[in-house]
């Protein structure tokens, strides 16, 4: 499946890839070796970032108009954002000051 987004963990030891098939995979940031599936979902994932200051938290947006924060260590969803009118297309995160910007096809959110 085509990869739509990649993000390094804060420590650079893990690379995460998000695909059109709705999976997030983890890879060794040093060797590129596949580690495991982090998250499996239905609709494709368009965009993904690691949450600054939270080593194992990933934020992603998908074709089904949903965006989630997951713990990459457990695969558990820790937060769901309200669905947009169209799919999420881009996400940007900043540690100081803490900001998260989510951009959809028809609207945006700044948190």
pLDDT higher than 90, residue 70: yes
Here the tokens at position 54 are 């939270």
pLDDT of 107? 66
- Its pTM stands at 0.87
DSSP-derived secondary structure letter, 87: -
Here the tokens at position 74 are 């457990």
Q: How many CB atoms lie within 10 A of CB 72?
A: 22
Q: Which residues of 21-46 are buried (b: 16+ CB within 10 A; e: fewer)?
A: ebbbbbbebeeeeeeeebbebeebbb
Looking at every residue in the chain, the average pLDDT score rounds to 88
| 63/101 Cα distance (integer angstroms) | 17
Q: How many CB atoms lie within 10 A of CB 9?
A: 18
| pLDDT 10s digits, 33-42 | 999 999 987 7
pLDDT of 106? 66
């Amino acid at each position: 499946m085509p990869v739509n987004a990649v993000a390094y963990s804060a420590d650079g030891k893990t690379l995460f890839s998000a695909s059109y098939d709705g999976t997030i995979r983890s890879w060794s940031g040093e060797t590129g070796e596949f580690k495991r599936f982090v998250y499996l979902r239905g609709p494709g994932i368009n965009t993904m970032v690691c949450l600054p200051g939270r080593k194992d938290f990933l934020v992603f947006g998908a074709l089904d108009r949903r965006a989630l924060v997951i713990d990459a260590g457990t695969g558990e969803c820790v937060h769901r954002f309200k669905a947009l009118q169209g799919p999420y297309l881009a996400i940007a995160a900043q540690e100081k000051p803490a900001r998260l910007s989510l951009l959809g096809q028809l609207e945006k959110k700044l948190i």
